[in-house]
Chains A and B, each alone.
Chain A
Amino acid sequence: MAEKFDAIVVGAGPSGNAAAYTLAKAGMKVLQLERGEYPGSKNVQGAILYADALEKIIPDFRDDAPLERHIIEQRMWVLDDESYIGTHYRSDDFNKPPYNRYTIIRAQFDKWFSEKVQEAGAMLICETTVSDLLMDGKRVIGVQTDRLGGEIYADIVILADGVNSLLATKAGFHPEIEPKNVALAVKEIHFMPQETVEARFNVQGDAGVVIEMAGKITQGMMGTGFLYTNKESLTIGVGCMLSDLKKQKISPYQLLEQMKAHPSIAPILEGGEMKEYTAHLIPEGGYKAIPQVFGDGWMIVGDAAMFVNAMHREGSNLAMTSGCFAAETVIELADKQKPFTAKNLARYREKLDASFVIKDLKKYKNMPDVFHANSQFFTTYPEMLNQAAHKMLTVDGVDKKTKEKQIMANFKHRRSLFGLMGDALKLWRAFE
């Protein structure tokens, strides 16, 4: 006889775990299916964990979650080929518990989260891929897995299967993801002694530093780079829109190699031993690319629903929050003994709209278009800024007023007055 559950959650990433945990805690009979060997085996993330989203689900997560370092300093670097100009913000406030952001290693974190989910009472089955949704007309009534006798039924199916949700596409809920809406990121972990990490970043104990980077490292393509401190390793990575990579015929691996050779980055990695190389897609289409996220008997959460704020490199928190909202919606309806129809599940979207998830994505809704159409933000500007800083800081007998004039002339020469004003306007509108 085929198995039947209250809810099936597809995927054991942050969004699926948040959903399954919340549902199981409420006493529902939950099945979670994960295609990886174990939760986290296929997942890639920088990774910064934002405490707030997790705290709302597991308030005492700090007791036993595998956390690397809490972030006390954020650096933003704009790089050209030889130099960078940037800001560093370090605050002792960030060094006082409860900490707000942590670096994590996803394989370990996902495993921990999944253990919590199973303790809460959900059943997890790994190494099992959901290949199709079982439909009764327009209503989802269960899933089909890749195993013999793989039909499993449920009142509600939550798709937490990550970026490029093939299931939703196959079921016709949304079209296939477009290359202009998805970034391809690669990252490596470099091991070195804890003391070396701490000395290079001037931190002690469990404190850590984050460097976010933009500029010529992406060779004119829309994208960013990052470098994070873990306990005894550094994570470095770079990502660009798939459409750009395709057009420029550059492999992300080449980008990362060049980035690692940058004179400001190479000394930080010096002597480390590279132990892990991974690549993953990030849905960065933003607000305009969000698909329909609910229907009769189904909801989509996390990356599968495009919930990534690329401007702030937030994803896992949107994933957990949306997973939690989806579960809460199910629990509320079950309490009132209402069916999981599209009409009733619209409550999920209302919760999202009222939260930072949709509000933030809406705020930056034009960002992807602006950056797509204006590659100067990733080439000309970083160079101009770095050259300006270089000029001002070189003491060579030229007076500062003249230097300013030279800088302005260079700006106008490179980008014209109209160009400069237009770019400022575009950015201002996009950020507004």
Chain B
Amino acid sequence: MHIVVCIKQVPDSAQIRVHPVTNTIMRQGVPAIVNPYDLFSLEEALRLKDKYGGHVTVISMGPPQAEGALKKCIAFGADAAILVTDRAFAGADTLATSFALASAIEQIEKDMKVDMVFAGKQTIDGDTAQVGPGIAKRLDMQLLTYVSKIDELDLAKGEIKVQRRAEGGVQVLQTRLPCLITMLEGTNEMRFATMENMFRAARYPVNFWNKDTAGIVDVSKIGLKGSPTLVSKVFAPKPNTKPAEIIDTEGHEPRDLALTLLSKLFTQHPKLRDSIVKQAA
């Protein structure tokens, strides 16, 4: 069994600062991490490998520094890592990113048949949740998003059964391989790498692929040229500086206090009352 896991290196949002003067995001000095959502997918892939045997390849498109994120995946137990990196990819939106990654996965497939692709549910920097589905569509794979549990995998029959979180409940879905899965966060916990794998990662030479190695011929589909999304403006929302109003509770009945609170709320949000009345009816 061969699983490809897509990972993206992202700035650690917990440590990102907005420049207090210019209001732009200060990326400098912010440590880069593996997109946290991708780790749930990687761990799930590694668990399948532990159970059924097989090979896990991690792949990322990004700048040369993303090598660090891939090495981390090797430390967790991935077998091989490929970094698709080329100036021609700069400025890619989700359409161009999924095109480049799909093309690279087709190249990987030439060496070893791919049974499953895992991607994160979304990233913490772009947050679109589009790249995974984009790859699935391009590779004509079954798409299983928001997966909370893999119930069964029958490699002989080429079938998989999963639980998927949906609004109001859980769907149990069964489909054919190859498929693309995005895992829901919190569904598993990334393992603590062994010392042996830490050494393997420290010595592992990540494979660097450019657009040609990734099998891309049509350059109008990658990078800025292949990206119809336009970012017209980026800004930090103004902090809410309105001070909180403190209501004195001394010597008041709870009922009166609740009424005061409600009347204050309704004066500030006139539509709220109507909507509550409507819902109650």
Contacts and interface: CB of A to CB of B under 8 A. Distances in A.
Interface size class on chain A is 20 to 34
Contact of B192 (A41, A107, A147, A191): A147
B172 interface: no
B81 to A, nearest CB: 17
Interface string A209-251: 0000000000000000000000010000000000000000000
Interface stretch (B46-54, B98-106, B123-131, B194-202): B194-202
A125 B198 contact: yes
B202 A149 contact: no
A272 B195 CA distance: 44
A95 interface: no
A320 to B, nearest CB: 22
Interface string B189-231: 0001111101100110000000000000000000000000000
A100 B202 CA distance: 36
Nearest to B194: A148
Interface string B1-31: 0000000000000000101110000000101
A148 B29 contact: no
B202 A123 contact: yes
A38 B198 CA distance: 14
A150 B202 contact: no
Contacts of A192: 20-21
A275 interface: yes
Interface in A1-58: 3, 37-38, 41
Given A123-B202, A149-B195, A193 B17 contact: no
A191 B20 contact: yes
A160 interface: no
A275 B26 CA distance: 12
Contacts of B17: 275
B247 to A, nearest CB: 29
Contacts of B202: 123-125
A38 B31 contact: yes
Contact of B195 (A107, A148, A191, A275): A148
28 contacts: A3-B195, A3-B199, A38-B31, A105-B29, A123-B202, A125-B202, A128-B195, A128-B198, A145-B195, A147-B192, A147-B193, A147-B194, A147-B195, A147-B198, A148-B192, A148-B194, A148-B195, A148-B196, A149-B194, A149-B196, A150-B195, A151-B195, A191-B20, A191-B21, A192-B20, A272-B20, A273-B20, A275-B20
Interface of A: 3, 37-38, 41, 105, 107-108, 123-125, 128, 145, 147-152, 191-193, 232, 272-273, 275
Given A38-B31, A148-B192, A148-B194, 16 more contacts: A3-B195, A37-B31, A41-B31, A108-B29, A123-B202, A124-B202, A125-B202, A147-B195, A148-B196, A149-B194, A149-B196, A151-B195, A191-B20, A193-B21, A272-B20, A275-B20
